[in-house]
Amino acid sequence: MSDDIQIQTSSKTPALIAREVARRRTFGIISHPDAGKTTLTEKLLLFSGAIQMAGTVKARKSGRHATSDWMEIEKQRGISVASSVMQFEFRDHIINLLDTPGHQDFSEDTYRVLTAVDSGLMVIDAAKGVEAQTIKLLDVCRMRNTPIVTFMNKLDRECRDPLELLDEVESVLKIQCAPVTWPIGMGKNFRGVYHLINDEILLFRAGEESVQGFEVIKGIDNPRLQEMFPLEMDQLRMEVELVHGASHPFSLEDFLAGKQTPVFFGSAINNFGVREILSALVDWAPAPGSRDASVRVVQPTEEKFSGFVFKIQANMDPAHRDRIAFLRVCSGRFERGMKVKHLRLNREVKVSSVVTFMASSREQVEEAYAGDIIGLPNHGNMQIGDSFSEGEMLQFTGIPYFAPDFFRQVRIRNPLKIKQLQKGLQQLGEEGAVQVFKPVQGGEVVLGAVGVLQFEVVASRLLNEYGVDAVFEGTSISTARWVSCDDKKMLADFEAALGHNVAYDAAGNMAYLATSGVNLRLTQERWPKLTFHATREHA
């Protein structure tokens, strides 16, 4: 009897896991500040029924003003973390939405979040077009050929010519555009969008506060349309002809290969075009896929649990000074209370306290599947890139570190605290909070970051957690590259010749710290056998 039950349960598990994986979508939302990411996030949640979230998203916004006060950062982070991963349901699918913080919150975490998603939603302000932060983030998506859905926002305002916008996306972001909806007018004359695949027109109404949906008129040649919009329809037919001739039809295969992006036009603030985005994610975006680990490729439907940490958030709860490690589940089924192996430490840990990120609050996880993000309490023993499994040595690869754009030198006010400073920087460097470079020939430690807020966080944490009052000063370094070469002698020669600008990072990798782009280029020319990397993978 008991045997029967056992067989029954275990034979059911693979089917259950396969079903749960198939209905999951994990995507990151990317944009330049002010394009409407927060507004769109709020609306996505509204359509999914997780309405209570709307307020939380707003709370994050209102805490956004720049500040150097640690408590303020914490407060702000505490709120922003709650909304940095959100899980909600739409049409019987489980959707995990990961935010990529911008503004002064921009840090390496922003990039790394994109290694934990299966697709991306790019929001562009149609009045402005492609902006700087979008370019950076899309570069990261391209490293893994992440499929991207594009939302052209704010059509209720005067925008740039839609064809010109598509042209810009294609030439600047180097991705083919396949318009799926096409705008009819814009600004005060915005009438709606024409769905090129479904041959239907979605009528726009400003200030639409409900999620009932907008009126749909079937067929571009429907006489009703001619009556309603005698002026616009001729123009639309002409444009649609042009679009059919000049742009690419949507190809699911090219989208999944990261070569083509379906483009939707709309107005997030008016809820317009939001349902179409959700449908595109559910219908077209990929379910969680396989992941490379050092020894083999891991399939999401495997029975055994595995996952990796892509982000560590410090001080979620100021009272406990806890840190949360964000783990992406890569395979199997995670259950609360299960024992998993922390591979780097080669230690079994029982995970009894785990949080998930339901749209309304941080909740206890009962179970999770590939694509889900879970939060593990971290008492300083987890690092970015750490992998977890049910025993097998599966170190996931592909978690990148990025060459910093900002540099500081560290000095301490009290020289007796040098040991604490070194310890603090080593740990913060390992954790990925900041990059720490130790020059080969004397000199002070150089810190590198991709966002300036990282320095403030490090200064505050050094003081609070290590009792070190550190002063951060400007430096002549302006860019860094990791250096590699098969010829060890060549590397040693390089180090001896340019010792002042050669340094080692917290993981022991050699880097060249250049004073300018020209300096970097000259050095590269003089040492043609060395490779200079702008990113490195977690070792």
List, as residue ranges, the binding site for GTP: 31-38, 99-103, 153-156
Q: Which residue positions form the known binding site?
A: 31-38, 99-103, 153-156
**134 binds ligand GDP, rule: CB under 6 A:** no
How far is Cα 422 from Cα 429, in angstroms, rounded to an integer?
10
Provide the minimum distance between the beta carbon of 154 and ligand GDP in the complex, in angstroms, as a whole number.
4
Helix (H) or strand (E) holding 521: helix 517-526
**309 binds ligand GDP, rule: CB under 6 A:** no
- Span near ligand GDP by CB under 6 A; candidates 36-44, 194-202, 226-234, 466-474: 36-44
Provide the minimum distance between the beta carbon of 402 and ligand GDP in the complex, in angstroms, as a whole number.
22
CA distances from 184 to 66, 177, 387 (A): 39, 18, 49
How far is Cα 138 from Cα 175, in angstroms, rounded to an integer?
10
**454 binds ligand GDP, rule: CB under 6 A:** no
User: Of 81, 173, 268, 459, which lies in the binding site for ligand GDP, with binding defined by CB under 6 A?
Assistant: 268
- CB nearer ligand GDP, residue 37 or residue 461: 37
Pairing type for strands 435-439 and 502-504 reads: antiparallel
- CB nearer ligand GDP, residue 265 or residue 305: 265
- CB nearer ligand GDP, residue 280 or residue 468: 280
Distant-in-sequence contacts of 143-146, Cβ < 8 A, 24+ apart: 143/400, 143/535, 144/114, 144/115, 144/258, 144/398, 145/257, 145/258, 145/259, 146/114, 146/117, 146/118, 146/119, 146/120, 146/258
- Span near ligand GDP by CB under 6 A; candidates 29-37, 83-91, 368-376, 508-516: 29-37
How far is Cα 249 from Cα 251, in angstroms, rounded to an integer?
6
Provide the minimum distance between the beta carbon of 271 and ligand GDP in the complex, in angstroms, as a whole number.
9
User: Of 17, 21, 25, 31, which lies in the binding site for ligand GDP, with binding defined by CB under 6 A?
Assistant: 31
What per-residue string of b and e applies to 500-526 under the rule 16 or more CB within 10 Å gives b? ebbbebbeebbbbbbeeeebbeebbee
- Span near ligand GDP by CB under 6 A; candidates 10-18, 33-41, 217-225, 330-338: 33-41
Residue type, 238: M
Characterise 154 by phi-psi region: left (phi > 0), alpha (psi -120 to 50), beta (else).
left
User: Of 36, 162, 432, 439, which lies in the binding site for ligand GDP, with binding defined by CB under 6 A?
Assistant: 36
Q: Burial, 68: exposed, middle or buried (Cβ in 10 Å; 0-12, 13-18, 19+)?
A: exposed
Whether 272 contacts 264, CB under 8 Å = no
- Span near ligand GDP by CB under 6 A; candidates 173-181, 262-270, 331-339, 441-449: 262-270
Provide the minimum distance between the beta carbon of 268 and ligand GDP in the complex, in angstroms, as a whole number.
4
CB neighbours of 122 closer than 8 A, spacing ≥ 6?
Answer: 30, 31, 134, 137, 138, 148, 149, 150, 151, 261
- CB nearer ligand GDP, residue 38 or residue 247: 38
Provide the minimum distance between the beta carbon of 41 and ligand GDP in the complex, in angstroms, as a whole number.
8
**44 binds ligand GDP, rule: CB under 6 A:** no
User: Of 20, 26, 27, 38, which lies in the binding site for ligand GDP, with binding defined by CB under 6 A?
Assistant: 38
Report 146-205 residues binding ligand GDP (CB under 6 A).
153-154, 156-157
How far is Cα 283 from Cα 96, in angstroms, rounded to an integer?
15
- CB nearer ligand GDP, residue 140 or residue 491: 140
- Span near ligand GDP by CB under 6 A; candidates 169-177, 226-234, 261-269, 312-320: 261-269
**136 binds ligand GDP, rule: CB under 6 A:** no
Query: 3-state class of 5 per DSSP?
Result: helix
Report 270-299 residues binding ligand GDP (CB under 6 A).
270
Provide the minimum distance between the beta carbon of 122 and ligand GDP in the complex, in angstroms, as a whole number.
11
**120 binds ligand GDP, rule: CB under 6 A:** no
**267 binds ligand GDP, rule: CB under 6 A:** yes
How far is Cα 333 from Cα 16, in angstroms, rounded to an integer?
9
Pairing type for strands 387-389 and 339-342 reads: antiparallel
User: Of 16, 34, 51, 54, which lies in the binding site for ligand GDP, with binding defined by CB under 6 A?
Assistant: 34
**269 binds ligand GDP, rule: CB under 6 A:** yes
| Number of amino acids touching ligand GDP (CB under 6 A) | 17
**20 binds ligand GDP, rule: CB under 6 A:** no
How far is Cα 52 from Cα 42, in angstroms, rounded to an integer?
10
HSE-CB at 319 with a 13 A cutoff on CA atoms is: 0
How far is Cα 170 from Cα 177, in angstroms, rounded to an integer?
6
Provide the minimum distance between the beta carbon of 269 and ligand GDP in the complex, in angstroms, as a whole number.
4
Question: How many helices (H) and strands (E) in the chain?
Answer: 15, 33
How is 104-144 classified by DSSP, letter by letter? GG-SHHHHHHTTS-SEEEEEEETTT-S-HHHHHHHHHHHHT
Q: Burial, 171: exposed, middle or buried (Cβ in 10 Å; 0-12, 13-18, 19+)?
A: exposed
- CB nearer ligand GDP, residue 288 or residue 451: 451
**33 binds ligand GDP, rule: CB under 6 A:** yes
Whether 138 contacts 147, CB under 8 Å = no
- CB nearer ligand GDP, residue 39 or residue 115: 39
- CB nearer ligand GDP, residue 31 or residue 115: 31
The residues binding ligand GDP (CB under 6 A) are 31, 33-39, 61, 153-154, 156-157, 267-270
